[in-house]
Amino acid sequence: MRLSVFGCGYLGAVHAAAMASIGHEVVGVDVDPRKIESLTKGEAPFFEPGLQQLLTEGIASGRLSFTTDASAAAGAKVHFVGVGTPQQAGGHAADLTYVNTAIDDLLPHLSAGDIVAGKSTVPVGTAAELAPRISAAGAVLVWNPEFLREGWAVQDTIDPDRLVAGVPSGAEGERAAEVLREVYHPAVAKGTPFIVTDYATAELVKVSANAFLATKISFINAMAEIAEATGADVTQLADAIGHDARIGRKFLGAGIGFGGGCLPKDIRAFAARAEELGRGESVNFLREVDAINLRRRDRAVQLVVDGLGGSVYGKKVAVLGAAFKPHSDDVRDSPALDVAVRLNGLGADVVVTDPQAIENARRLHPQLTFEADRDETIRGAAAVVMVTEWDEYRRELSPEHAASLTDGRVVVDGRNGLDAAAWRAAGWSYFGMGRP
């Protein structure tokens, strides 16, 4: 089937390449000529495991192409819209400028019977507002939210754990759902749940899923705050309650909290939309979820200050990690980078390393010092702070090796990913998040 994908950022580029890999003919459209030039060469403009191979294979096969010309979408049966919905400047609501612009660019090239499939994370009610414009062009709008995990986005696109399609009522909605089943035929054939809903439910599935995950993370971080006040160990607490099948252990990792381009802005936009609907009280808890999340960054900084005797001024602090999570180069709202910036503001000589995110981090915070080599980063440091749980830091850096390079023996484990007993046995003062 011929498909178009409007927006070739993180979501769109992965979706386009993944759809080509399962046999579709796909054209990706974006207004950024540099991004399109990179993708046309088969070069991924960001780090995502597996994406480079899909791009190379898709372009070589002739099934995948990229352009800045929206007219290239003409003739596609399904048009995906996967542009960004950032937080509004000066507010918490989602900015739909890119969504509206993409629809404006697409409308002249639609044909009767086409399907426009929105994938962007949008406030509930957006699809209902867009649908009349799509219908006037003879096409049908569906809302097909994405559920990608950065670092596993290729896998999540090709082999998702569920597919959701918000469609209009009646025969045209049923037809649109059947076409989407064809688009995702390998996943549907293996039994992946395919859930057909109305527009509002499909929009809410995405934002409520993100709200739940954010709540679970902030819950365990709230327990970490209690653990710190009582001497309890939040990692053992999480293990114990995680054995309850109703709760589960996933997303109960206490630490410096969540970040990235989705969870923080999505829970804020969800709360803002609830206020607009007159139901703000229903999601008031999300504001506390956000506040707890931000407090953990403060706590990590305070642990470094305490570990260095009350002041970090003039002392070298090695920060292991800049991306908001491993297997990504994404530094949007990164807790790791935020901790580094705050320590720098207190006068520490901060050196940051990361396997993939250094260039993105440098563009965002040129005032920091960056070093690609892990060992050079920690050489001569008074304290080491692990804030992104890359294997290079969590598993492959032994406390004995680290001790041979540093001047101090203070380690702050912002992700509770290190073996506390092993580091203490090697002579380190170990500080975890919510751990004695």
Q: How many CA atoms lie within 13 A of 93 on its CB side?
A: 13
Residues 6+ apart with CB under 8 A from 173: 140, 142, 167, 196
Q: Considering the entire predicted model, what is its pTM? A: 0.93
Do the beta carbons of residue 52 and residue 86 sit within 8 Å? no
Q: Based on C-alpha coordinates, what's the Rg of the chain?
A: 23
Rounded Cα–Cα distance for residues 124 and 168 (Å): 15
Token duo for residue 91: 């507010």
What's the CA angle centered on 309, arms 305 and 313, to 5 degrees? 60
Burial 292-312 (b: 16+ CB within 10 A, else e): bbebbbebbbebbbebbeeeb
Mean predicted confidence (pLDDT) in 157-179: 97
Nearest to 86 by CA among 78, 96, 74: 96
pLDDT in tens, 371-421: 999 999 999 999 999 999 999 999 999 999 999 999 999 999 999 999 999
At residue 110, what is the residue type? L
pLDDT in tens, 335-372: 999 999 999 999 999 999 999 999 999 999 999 999 99
Rounded-to-5 percentages of helix, strand, coil across the chain? 45, 15, 40
Do the beta carbons of residue 227 and residue 233 sit within 8 Å? yes
Show the 3-state SS of 303-315.
HHHHHCCCCCCCC
Show the 3-state SS of 24-66.
CEEEEECCCHHHHHHHHCCCCCCCCCCHHHHHHHHHHHCCEEE
pLDDT in tens, 249-303: 999 999 999 999 999 999 999 999 999 999 999 999 999 999 999 999 999 999 9
What does the mean pLDDT of the chain come to? 97
The residues annotated as belonging to the active site are 262
